[in-house]
Chains A and B, each alone.
Chain A
Amino acid sequence: MAPTEQQRKASRTKELSGSKKVPNARVQRYLKSTESKLKEDGKNTLLLKGIKASEAMSRVLQELRALQAPRVKLLNKKNQIVPFEDQQSLEFLSTKNDCALFAVASHNKKRPNNLVIGRTFDHQVLDMAELGILRFKSSLRDYGGQVFKKRIGTKPLLMFQGDLWQQYSTIDYPNLQNLLTDFYRGQVVDKILATGIDHMIVFTIAPAQGTVLIHQRTYHIQLKKNPKDLSSKVPVPLLQPCGPDFDFVLRRTMWADSDLAKAARRQPAELRKKKTEKNKNKTTTIFGETMGRLHLEKQNVEKMGGRKNKALRRAEKAAADQESMAVESELDREKEEMGREFQREFGFAEQD
């Protein structure tokens, strides 16, 4: 799907040498925006219909589009896609539309009201989960005219209730939680306007009717002053159900194998959590000077060589001269003594 290493290099050669026709600036800007970034923004969602989609499922997709606008693309035509059998078509569509999340809606007798949500990594399908919708109450239609209308682009508060979300023995619920969070969290931001929070999506999981049911409810939030503590600035929310409400059951899943999952979650070094530095050897005096302490091993000073300079060399030379003179004088004295001995013994000097 994505160009191979060789293809990319060949393409780049053509671009640089001028033989490839470069598109206009607007297209170039768009293509640059689809390249990988250091810090990623929110993911776009692709909403599709499968082989057969009922009107109700179309409404489900419209609802999802309303929730995820403007980062969403709803395709109108039916597609011959069965996500759990062949992902190639899905990967192609998601790559071309630059959407990392997708939802395929279909309806047939065996799997009624089927919604397959999933995400891609590096133009390949990463995770998929098939949800069978048992109940759907649409915010656009079923809640009456005076319901709160979700503003485009607001970030929801999310909540997962139930102890089953932590269980992963039979079905990997934590992964599903991760997928649902990814699907609904919207744009990734550093700062958020505190008063701009207007809705909350709650996912409740509970065992019922022999299976495990998941209930998704959306509430409109209004922040009110805390009645018990009027002085506190922390508000208290007032919740009103505004839809969409889903009751679904998890049918099939396809999770990425651990290697791919790990690779997908790997963040670049710049964004990874930095361990707090332990500066044991740095101190700051009261004057604001930062002092550092170097800890060294024991040094054998005697055996170390030092730098030589003229004075040291002179001193060495002088010392050496002195020594040699002393040695010479010693030798002379010895010789003299030996001469005297000789004379004593033999009566005449040695030299003769």
Chain B
Amino acid sequence: MVAKKQKTKKSKNVEEEEVDYAAVADQFADLSDHDSVEEGDDDDDDDENDESASGDSGDSNDENENSGSDDDKEDSEDHDDSEEHDDSEGDEEDDDGEEDNIARKITTNSFAGPEPCSFDMHNLLAINSHQMDTSKMYIKKAGKYNDEEDITIPPESLELAVNEKYLLEKAASGCTQLIAALWQLPIESSDVGPMVSLPIHDGSKIPRQLPPPPPKKETKWEKFAKLRGISLNKEKRSQKVFDEATGEWMYRHGYRKANDDTKEWPIMEVKGNDDPYADPWEKQREEKRSRKDKNMESRMRNEERAGNLVKGTTNKLLKNRDKARMAGKAGGDLDRYNVPPSGVPVDLKPTKGSGDIKSMKRGKASITNALLATQRSTASLGNFDKMLEGEPERKKNHIGAKKRKYEGSTDKAVISTEAERAMKVFKHVVDGGGAQKEKARLKGRLAKGETAYDYEFNDGLGPSTFQKKKGRAAAGKMKKMTKKRIK
């Protein structure tokens, strides 16, 4: 077998306190046992098996007939071993004389042992609350356990070594009782094998990992249906429905559901009362949107009633949503319907006097500006234009506007300078500035770049704009305006 069995001293009282497996095994020595461990035995054990088997009178070796437990077999081997060594050591007693007594004492529960256990079958737990006999359980280490030094954590600090055989025997007795108790539970046969129904209630009262979920609160519809006795269709409805279009069974709800009328088809049928000039796709989108909104609203209200949401969130949300939608619509309409009337320059900034930006009112300032712009918008800069009735006097508003000279293509002056001018422009583009830029750089007007991204440009900051004091200090001290100062 796998574990090396330790030889224990058998006291005279062993039969009274616990089952002497060795003695019991002797009874079954003639029953052959070929049902050893499935994984395969060690060579030693095989030899021992053969030895005992040879003593048999050729019994049938059916694997189904498990006539003796391997435990007994092992013990019988041990017994044989101990007997062999008995003569040399002279310590072991011969149990032969008492074996007949044991044989008569054996009952069906003898494997169970004299220490009954209590059980918690829900957890397959056996509790043996009898006192452990430390004299039997522990053996003083005397250098016998050299093989233990190789284990992962060797027992260096322990002075005593555990009597593994004693523990095994106790465990075996407990296990037998536990299995007997297990077999007393209701058994149902299934295709896998006999299934034992374990009790539902936990005898050990092991704590949960999470508190139990709060009971689900009924929705408004569920309450009403319950009151009126209307069935909820939860169990009646099948998950899949036959779809005529594709001719297969598709899911009732969700993505790619069966019999989906809400899809957008390129050609829409005009039914009965519908207006033939209405936009059916727009209508469909509106319907879908309204359904979504309604669904969301009712879900939120149900959750609010159940207490999962703060009271009043639904109303707040709906209000905000409507507001946002209205604003969005207005914004869109602005582009679609509120085109500024022709003649009003759109890029002229609305000033204080021009009223609200959105109002599209020009206001006095922008009107005067517009008028000025239009007045000089002729080839003659408005000099020879007829004055209209009520039109204000034209001030010298052509000062800022320069009239461009007409440059004919056959003009000598033009032809001679055209190439130069073109090249200048070209250079300006290619070289990025040309002579003008060089001049500015030399003069120090361009900012010097610290990084690769700071290329030379005139940022408008010069010595005149330099401010020594910044922030609040820049405003300066507020000095009292005395008469002297005013003067």
Binding site for B on A (CB under 8 A): 6, 8-10, 12-13, 16-18, 35-38, 40, 43, 56, 59-60, 100, 113, 119-122, 126, 133-138, 141-144, 146-148, 155-163, 165-166, 177-178, 181-182, 185, 189-197, 200, 202, 204-209, 213, 215, 217, 219, 221-230, 232-242, 247, 261, 263-268, 271, 273
Is B360 in the interface zone, CB < 8 Å from A? no
A265 CA to B210 CA in the complex, in Å? 10
> Contact: A236 with B111, CB < 8 Å?
yes
Contacts of A37 in B (CB 8 A): 210, 213
CB distance from A57 to the nearest CB of B (A): 8
Chain A residues, Cβ within 8 Å of B175: 157, 159, 200, 219, 221, 237, 239
Instruction: Among B39, B162, B309, point to the contact of A146 (Cβ < 8 A).
Output: B39
| Other A-B pairs beyond A138-B151, A185-B124, A190-B197, 6, CB < 8 Å | A40-B210, A192-B124, A204-B167, A234-B180, A238-B70, A266-B212
CB contact list, B106-123 vs A, under 8 A = 106-108, 110-111, 117, 123
Given contacts A160-B125, A265-B205, contact A12 B167 (CB under 8 A): no
Smallest CB separation, A107 vs chain B (Å): 10
With A142-B151, A217-B167, A239-B71 known as contacts, the answer to whether A204 contacts B111 (CB < 8 A) is no
Which residue of B131, B171, B192, B194 is within 8 Å of A239 (Cβ)? B171
Closest Cβ of chain B to A129, distance in Å, is 14
The 6 closest A-B pairs by CB, nearest first: A264-B207, A100-B209, A136-B153, A36-B210, A268-B212, A135-B155
Q: Are the CB atoms of A134 and B2 closer together than 8 Å? A: no
A163 CA / B157 CA spacing, docked (Å): 25
A16 to B292, CA, bound (A): 11
User: Which of chain B's residues have a CB closer than 8 A to the CB of A232?
Assistant: 108
B residues lining the A interface (CB < 8 Å): 1-3, 28, 31, 35, 37, 39-40, 42, 65-72, 106-108, 110-111, 117, 123-132, 134, 137-138, 148, 150-155, 157-160, 162, 164, 167-168, 170-172, 174-176, 178-180, 182-183, 187-188, 192-198, 200-201, 204-213, 296, 299-300, 303, 308-310, 313, 317
CB distance from B175 to the nearest CB of A (A): 5
- Within the assembled complex, what's the spacing in Å between the Cα atoms of A177 and B206? 10
Q: Is the CB of B108 within 8 A of A17?
A: no
Expressed in whole angstroms, the Cα–Cα distance for A126 and B206 within the complex equals 12
Check B129 against A163 for contact (C-beta < 8 Å). yes
A137 CA to B161 CA, complexed, in Å: 13
Across the interface, do B2 and A162 meet the contact criterion of CB distance under 8 Å?
A: no
B309 touches A13 (CB 8 A): yes
* Nearest-Cβ distance from residue A49 to partner chain B, whole angstroms: 16
Chain A nearest CB, measured from B220 CB (Å): 16
Q: From B211, which residue of chain A is reached at the shortest CB distance?
A: A122
Rounded to whole angstroms, the CA-CA distance of A222 and B200 in the bound complex is 26
Q: A157-B175, A163-B131 are in contact. Are A113 and B153 (CB under 8 A)?
A: yes
By a CB distance below 8 angstroms, the chain A residues around B65 are 225
A contact patch SS: mixed
CA distance A237 to B173 in the complex (A): 9
In-complex Cβ contact of A224 among B66, B126, B130 (8 A): B66
Cα-based distance from A286 to B1 in the complex (angstroms): 64
Which chain A residues lie closer than 8 Å to B170 at the CB level? 161, 202, 204
CB < 8 Å: which of B123, B126, B171 contacts A217? B171
Q: Which residues from chain A contact B303 at a C-beta distance below 8 Å?
A: 12, 16
Please report the C-alpha to C-alpha distance between residue A177 and residue B167 in the assembled complex, in whole angstroms: 18
**A40 near B152: Cβ-Cβ < 8 Å:** no
B206 cross-chain contacts in A, Cβ below 8 A: 178, 181-182, 185, 265
- Of the residues A18, A135, A222, contact of B154 by C-beta under 8 Å: A135
Partner among A202, A228, A247, A265 whose Cβ is within 8 Å of the Cβ of B155 = A247
Judge whether B3 and A241 touch: CB under 8 Å: yes
Whether A267 touches B212, Cβ cut-off 8 Å, given contacts A193-B193, A227-B28, is yes
Q: A138-B151, A142-B150 are in contact. Are A13 and B198 (CB under 8 A)?
A: no
CB distance from A229 to the nearest CB of B (A): 5
- Judge whether B196 and A194 touch: CB under 8 Å: yes
**Knowing A134-B155, A146-B39, A181-B123 touch, does A163 contact B179 (C-beta < 8 A)?**
no
Most B CB contacts (10 A, CB to CB) among A13, A178, A229, A268 go to A13
A134 touches B157 (CB 8 A): yes
23 A-B interface contacts by CB (under 8 A)? A40-B210, A43-B209, A56-B152, A122-B210, A134-B153, A142-B150, A146-B40, A161-B171, A162-B129, A162-B131, A194-B194, A197-B179, A200-B171, A200-B175, A202-B171, A206-B134, A223-B179, A224-B69, A227-B68, A230-B67, A238-B70, A240-B70, A261-B207
**A159 interface neighbour in B28, B111, B126, B188, Cβ under 8 Å:** B126
A159 touches B174 (CB 8 A): yes
Nearest residue (CB) in A for B38 is: A222
- Interchain CB contact under 8 A, B167 and A159: no
Bound complex: CA A6 to CA B167 (Å): 56
